[in-house]
């Protein structure tokens, strides 16, 4: 009972500012409990932010705990920084990035068609240069892969036992899509174990990335191979400390 009350109090703490008050937050909690898949709405940076109950951890980590705040200077280093958000989930990273720099040019990639739909709503609620596309990051373009939606929404991933099918896209194509650019200011990758297949196919493309942030998934892919590919193109490769998750988050700069 004490643990349940503590969890409720913590939920009210992060949800109240976004919901506009404790009463509105309590209503959202009730709706979330009745149907974890129902679409809920709060406000972030003065704009609507949509999510499902199963997406709550993303809001806590990215918006409440500000997991990526170490990127503030990178986002402000250019008038319109080019950002590739690979593994966008519902778009919390992009929404946060736009709060830091409203002129950022963001391309978000999300494989789960249901989560992609929520991210698309969040992008359309902002008058910003933010586009969301439905693909799985991979070593080749145009393949069809199975994608699993089992478990928490932030853990959905490519799997031979998946219940969905999704088309693949490469880093080269994503870099071309954001504008056939010579450089990407920030590349953020969180793709639940597909990072090895995605990056190690053409690691030379990292030469055109100023800053890389990548979550590694030990046990799902060869993380040492990923680290080796990264280290060839970045002088600084550091693990971000103090995370809620036990998965390594690497910050890489030239």
R_g of the chain computed on alpha carbons: 18
Determine the Cα–Cα distance for residues 196 and 200; give it in Å rounded to an integer: 5
The whole-chain average pLDDT of the chain stands at 93
CATH 3.40.50.150 corresponds to the domain 68-253: yes
Confidence of residue 180 (pLDDT cuts 50, 70, 90): low
The reported pLDDT for the residue numbered 2 is 58
Q: What's the predicted TM-score (pTM) here?
A: 0.94
Determine the Cα–Cα distance for residues 67 and 9; give it in Å rounded to an integer: 21
For 51-60, the pLDDT digits (tens) are: 999 999 999 9
- The structure tokens listed for 174 are 């994503």
DSSP output for 197-225:
HHHHTSGGGGGGEEEEEEE--BTTB-HHH
- The structure tokens listed for 107 are 């391309």
For 65-119, the pLDDT digits (tens) are: 999 999 999 999 999 999 999 999 999 999 999 999 999 999 999 999 999 999 9
Minimum mean pLDDT range among 33-37, 145-149, 194-198? 145-149
Show the DSSP H helices in 69-216 as ranges: 72-75, 92-100, 113-124, 171-177, 195-200
For 136-154, the pLDDT digits (tens) are: 999 999 999 998 888 878 8
Given a contact cutoff of 8 angstroms between Cβ atoms, the answer to whether 73 and 51 are in contact is no
**What number is the average pLDDT over the span 147-169?**
88
Q: Domain ranges for the chain, please list them.
A: 68-253
The reported pLDDT for the residue numbered 1 is 58
């Amino acid at each position: 009972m004490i643990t349940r009350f503590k969890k409720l109090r913590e939920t009210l703490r992060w949800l109240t500012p976004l919901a506009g008050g404790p009463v509105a937050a309590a209503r959202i909690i009730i709706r979330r409990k009745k149907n974890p898949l129902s679409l809920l709405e709060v406000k972030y940076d003065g704009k609507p932010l949509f999510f499902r109950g199963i997406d709550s951890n993303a809001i806590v980590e990215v918006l409440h705990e500000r997991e990526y705040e170490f990127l503030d200077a990178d986002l402000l280093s250019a008038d319109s920084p080019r950002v590739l958000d690979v593994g966008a989930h519902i778009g919390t990273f992009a929404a946060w990035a736009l709060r830091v720099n409203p002129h950022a040019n963001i391309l978000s990639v999300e494989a789960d068609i249901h989560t992609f739909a929520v991210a698309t709503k969040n992008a359309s609620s902002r008058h910003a240069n933010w586009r969301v596309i439905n693909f799985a990051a991979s070593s080749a373009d145009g393949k069809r892969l199975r994608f699993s939606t089992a478990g928490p929404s932030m853990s959905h991933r490519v799997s031979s036992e998946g219940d969905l099918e999704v088309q693949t896209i490469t880093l080269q194509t994503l870099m071309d899509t954001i504008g056939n650019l010579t450089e990407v200011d920030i590349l953020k990758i969180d793709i639940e174990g597909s990072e090895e297949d995605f990056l190690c196919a053409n690691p030379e493309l990292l030469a055109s990335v100023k800053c890389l942030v990548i979550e590694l998934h030990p046990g799902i892919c060869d993380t040492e191979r990923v680290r080796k590919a990264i280290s060839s193109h970045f002088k600084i490769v550091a693990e971000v400390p103090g995370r809620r998750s036990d998965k390594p988050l690497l910050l890489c700069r030239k």
